[in-house]
Amino acid sequence: MSEEKKIPYKIYLNENEMPTKWYNVRSDMKNKPAPLINPGTHEPMGFDDLRPVFCDELIKQELDNDTPYFDIPQKILDFYKMYRPSPLVRAYCLEEALGTPAKIYYKFEGNNTSGSHKLNSAIAQAFYAKEQGLRGLTTETGAGQWGTALSMACAYLGLDLKVFMVKVSYEQKPFRREVMRTYGASVTPSPSMETQIGKKINAEHPGTTGSLGCAISEAVEVATTNEGYRYVLGSVLNQVLLHQSIIGLETKAALDKYGIVPDVIIGCAGGGSNLGGLIAPFMGEKLRGEKDYRIVAVEPASCPSFTRGVYAYDFCDTGMVCPLAKMYTLGSSFIPSANHAGGLRYHGMSPILSQLYADGYMEAVSAEQTAVFEAATKFARTEGILPAPESSHAIKAAIDEALACKESGEEKTIVFGLTGTGYFDLVAYQKFNDGEMSDFIPTDEDIRKSVSLLPKV
């Protein structure tokens, strides 16, 4: 007990303890993630193939399966200092409320205006675009966190930004839009009538509320048809997981400071970037055979790519213009039900995490949204932070794990990623508080349909 008392409520790192390199988990994977391939020829995409779409330095990071560490450029380290380290918090109050012997820690990434971990990669991607002398960037955003993060990063570096925002979010989250505009970005609801692909999708699916896949297609079209612009993506890609390794490196440094070794590491999974980042150094130890951890991905039951999808090459976007990625996917035509309010709407999953999952290095569970909001409410009332619905998937799984410890009497150490705050998700909270939230689970037939449209590779 006296040992335990020494662990502060929040574990911070001093400036000289901060990571100065990102860790590339691919360097320790025996089975590397499958390469992106050309949708026409099915040949692996090399540096030159990707240049029209992505920034040069980011392509190098994307394709590098071997370099273990990348120096974080000074300008990015300086930006990180404005909001990092993020605190690693011992959830004493939640533990007490649950009556569990488990020790629960969460790494809170919501301590910046954009309100999520996405800023960690946004600033990196904007930096390399600026270095290359580009005029601006295009991107998609779903719930709005990525667009907000990128608009902050672009404002800091003086880059133009055009954001295609999934229509359902554009309508449900007008305040997100205003934050982005305040940072100087232009925001268009997707599917729009401003691009060829947007017009096509609107004609084929009248009244569609959009999807990340549609918005990606539009953003790529605008980037590739405008001089001095490139497209950037906030999740899924290898480069994004590389940048997000800052989360896991800080977490590990903080735990090591107090000799804490986690038994279970839990994160929510949309495209896989926060989870990939959180687990990176721990997974590295596991891959090198040095340590073992249980690693759990939590996804919504309404968009269950790991737990009910297939591991196959698929389009990253609905418009089928992007490279194909091998990943757990529900099919690029899969659009989660409009009643799904909890984020994590992407049909696919990071190729790195997909390979690790296929090789048995991690587990996945799904959670229904009412149960997720119950967990979110419990967390808000005990730990004080109003969590993002996405993050609350991890809270739900962490609570379940802690309650299982209560049953078994095990004193496991649980670490989970609290990826952001829920201030812009109050429409979803309102639905939950009014008892109007329902669960939606796609049928096997729904999934079979979209999976049957996968490209034949």
- Residue numbers 408-427 binding ligand PLP by CB under 6 A: 419-420
Report, in Å, the least distance between residue 336 CB and ligand PLP: 14
Segment interacting with ligand PLP (CB under 6 A) among 251-259, 284-292, 300-308, 388-396: 388-396
Contact with ligand PLP (CB under 6 A): which of 24, 391, 392, 450? Answer: 391
Q: How far is the CB of 240 from ligand PLP (least distance, A)?
A: 7
Under the criterion CB under 6 A, does residue 364 sit at the interface with ligand PLP?
Answer: no
Residue indicated by tokens 């379940």: 400
Q: Quick check: 248 binds ligand PLP (CB under 6 A)?
A: no
Dump strand ranges (E) for 158-225: 160-166, 186-190
Nearer to ligand PLP (CB atom), residue 211 or residue 274: 274
Nearest CA-CA partner of 10 in 432, 422, 428, 418 = 418
The structure tokens listed for 92 are 């004493």
The stretch among 47-55, 252-260, 308-316, 384-392 that binds ligand PLP (CB under 6 A) is 384-392
Residue environment code for 383-418, b if the CB has 16+ CB neighbours within 10 A, otherwise e: bebbbbbbbbbbbbbbbbbbeebeeeeeebbbbbbb
* 237 touches ligand PLP by CB under 6 A: no
Structure tokens at 71: 């120096």
E-state strands within 84-236: 88-90, 103-108, 136-141, 160-166, 186-190, 229-231
Please identify, using beta-carbon distances, which residue of 134 and 275 lies nearer to ligand PLP: 275
Nearest to 244 by CA among 287, 215, 273: 273
Give the nearer residue to ligand PLP in terms of CB position, either 116 or 450: 116
CA distance 166 to 288: 40
x/- track of binding to ligand PLP for residues 124-163 (CB under 6 A):
---------------------x------------------
- Give me the 249-288 binding string for ligand PLP, x by CB under 6 A, dash otherwise: -------------------xxxxxxxx-------------
Two tokens, residue 292? 């073992």
For 230, the 3-state DSSP assignment is strand
| Cβ-contact 283, 356 below 8 angstroms | yes
Q: Specify the length of the chain in residues.
A: 457
Amino acid at site 69: Y
Interface with ligand PLP includes 172 (CB under 6 A)? no
Binding site for ligand PLP (CB under 6 A): 116, 118, 145, 235, 268-275, 344, 388, 390-391, 419-420
